[in-house]
Amino acid sequence: MRKLRFILAVIVVLALSAVSFAHPGKLDKNGGHYDKETGEYHYHKGPNALETLELRRNTVYKAKILRVVDGDTAIVSFEFDDGSKYQKERVRFLGVDTPETVHPNKPVQFYGKEASDFTKSQLTDKTVWLQTDVGPRDRYDRMLAYVWLKEPSKKDLDDEKAIRKYMYNAKLLLDGYAQVMTIQPNSKYSNLFVHFQREAREAKKGLWGKEPE
């Protein structure tokens, strides 16, 4: 019995050590921290961690933008049909990548401030609709979504005209604030997004019309 207890104690110590090694550093007030190698932000379970919503693939959720983090990331709360609300979620906009402004180990990138300021002006305090793809979350537990400025109909989801007019991810590309970045397996609009980027580049819009200083 003593031998069994000793073995179990060793296993627990090793497990705790592994967790400590995998997630170094203190948690912030939201219950998460930045990965020192990648600069990505992710959450942890615990008394200060945000609860995780069970997201479904290919689903549209109504949400309120609480805070814009940078050009392609925001903090939201959810609003459901029964009037109930859900706590905060960090949302990474799918299919696009704006220049960094909040990376802990890198300076603000070219055209990053412009992209961040644009998203703040367009989305802060707004009600939006978040459309998931095949993979609703990334490895950092962030929600991955296409952001709609009005509730999309089933037809809108596959209509280029509606996507151009009402999907914010598309707007970032069309106005030259972002470049295409596909996070597999989420590729529903990847071909269309490549077309939008080419269109902005040829028109020299946004970051395509300026040279880094």
Show Cβ contacts of residue 71 under 8 Å, excluding neighbours closer than 6 positions: 98, 99, 101, 112, 115, 116, 118, 119, 172, 177, 178
Closest to 96 measured CA to CA, from 11, 161, 176, 157: 176
Cβ–Cβ under 8 Å, residues 160 and 192: yes
Active-site residue numbers?
A: 92, 100, 142
Phi, psi (5° rounding) for residue 28?
A: -85, -175
Helix (H) or strand (E) holding 129, with range, is strand 127-131
